[in-house]
A and B are shown apart, each in its own frame.
Chain A
Amino acid sequence: GESVGLHLPTLSVQEGDNSIINCAYSNSASDYFIWYKQESGKGPQFIIDIRSNMDKRQGQRVTVLLNKTVKHLSLQIAATQPGDSAVYFCAEKIAGANSKLTFGKGITLSVRP
């Protein structure tokens, strides 16, 4: 698999490989984190979330890891498929606020057949 930070806009992986998308957040008060997938012409689609009292959460083919010490979030996609090609955003929410989500800039995942 390959990993890249959000400062690099595109991640290209071979179909079947694992993908790792990283995100750094800045606000230590954030207590809820979400990964969204956005396909062309569509709104963001919820993938997986994690609360600050957890380090890891697994879904179907996806895993989110949270490292509060260094304010780092990652999304791992196992056995990447062509349908995973999209732009991925991490979003954070601050404790005590309304549901205002603060999004990162996003990274494009491109899956090579």
Chain B
Amino acid sequence: ETGVTQSPTHLIKTRGQQVTLRCSSQSGHNTVSWYQQALGQGPQFIFQYYREEENGRGNFPPRFSGLQFPNYSSELNVNALELDDSALYLCASSLNSHNEQFFGPGTRLTVL
């Protein structure tokens, strides 16, 4: 166990809806990174938050947005869901932006 928790475990939404996924980082970690993992693929970097500020973004459209709170927990929001957004969403926390990342178990999102 990494001490990184995510909620919910599973989620089913319909196309066009909005979703919020949550991540609690490991104690003492100030950095959270979000990844999207499609079935049979490696995780793809969405963005990273370091001390409540976005600190790098991957090749994802603006309808993917995030937030980090003062306790360093984080949210991933996805608007106008599309079928291709169906994936496992992983969050990883690290001590600082350049340190080893510890992954949570992920949230499985299904868009119908």
Contact = CB atoms under 8 A, between A and B. Distances in A.
B99 A99 contact: yes
Interface residues of B, number: 29
A10 to B, nearest CB: 12
Contact of A98 (B55, B90, B106): B55
Interface of B: 2, 4, 31, 33, 35, 40-45, 48, 50, 55-56, 58, 90, 92, 94, 97-106
Contacts of B35: 101
Contacts of A102: 45
B105 A100 contact: no
Query: Is the interface on chain A under 10, 10 to 19, 20 to 34, or 35 or more residues?
Result: 20 to 34
B50 A46 contact: no
Contacts of B97: 98-99
Nearest to B9: A41
